[in-house]
Amino acid sequence: MFHHNPNISGGGWDDRYQVQYHTLFDLADLNQENVTIDAYLKDAAKLFQQHGVDAFRIDAMKHVTWGWEYCLANSIYSNGDSFLFGEWYQGNTSDPLFHDSYKFANKSGMALLDFPLNTAGIQFTTLTAVLETVEKRRHHRLQRLCENSEIPPTGSWWMVQIQPTKG
């Protein structure tokens, strides 16, 4: 009923097999391929749908067997109109499994929370607040340049040029 593999370790966070089949921080890890577990989870989703539920969120989606999630989505969609989405955490587009995440979202019928977009939004919001504060305090005109063509491993980078106000 459970996967009995070791914890994800070392570089395993970037390894497709470990991410799906190894244990996440010693948590119990249901084996969705087990016929009993598979039927139970799909029957539970069907029961929820019969009671009016029309959306499902799957937490830690990249840690569930991806092939089984496709199967779950098909089962849910065959029971009625529903919206499926999940959390597939990744910091930015340089994440080694980024390609897998957008391939999964495009083929599984499940939407993913967009963490790289969220991270960029937070960086931009923070940058904007800092620039506005500097502008108010120094009465300088700011020129803002956001460079998105290259994202280093530490995330997006920003360049700000401050010029004194003429006159």
Question: pLDDT (tens digit, 9 = 90+) per residue, 87-139?
Answer: 888 877 888 888 888 888 888 888 887 777 767 776 776 666 655 655 554 44
Residue owning tokens 């620039």: 131
Residue 57 tokens read as 């969120």
Rounded Cα–Cα distance for residues 105 and 16 (Å): 16
Rounded Cα–Cα distance for residues 87 and 18 (Å): 18
| Residue 114 appears among annotated catalytic residues | no
Burial group, residue 104, by CB count within 10 angstroms (0-12, 13-18, 19+): buried
Asked if the model's pLDDT at residue 44 lies above 90, the reply is: yes
Marked catalytic residue, from 38, 87, 100, 114: 87
Q: For the whole model, what pTM was predicted?
A: 0.68
The pLDDT value given to residue 138: 47
User: Which residue, among 50, 2, 43, 39, has the nearest Cα to 23 in the 3D structure?
Assistant: 2
Rounded Cα–Cα distance for residues 45 and 49 (Å): 6
φ/ψ (deg, to 5) at 157: -120, 155
Q: Where are the beta strands (DSSP E) in 13-147?
A: 55-58, 83-86, 111-112, 141-147
Rounded Cα–Cα distance for residues 91 and 98 (Å): 9
| Residue 87 appears among annotated catalytic residues | yes
Marked catalytic residue, from 26, 59, 81, 150: 59
Could you say which DSSP state residue 24 is in? S
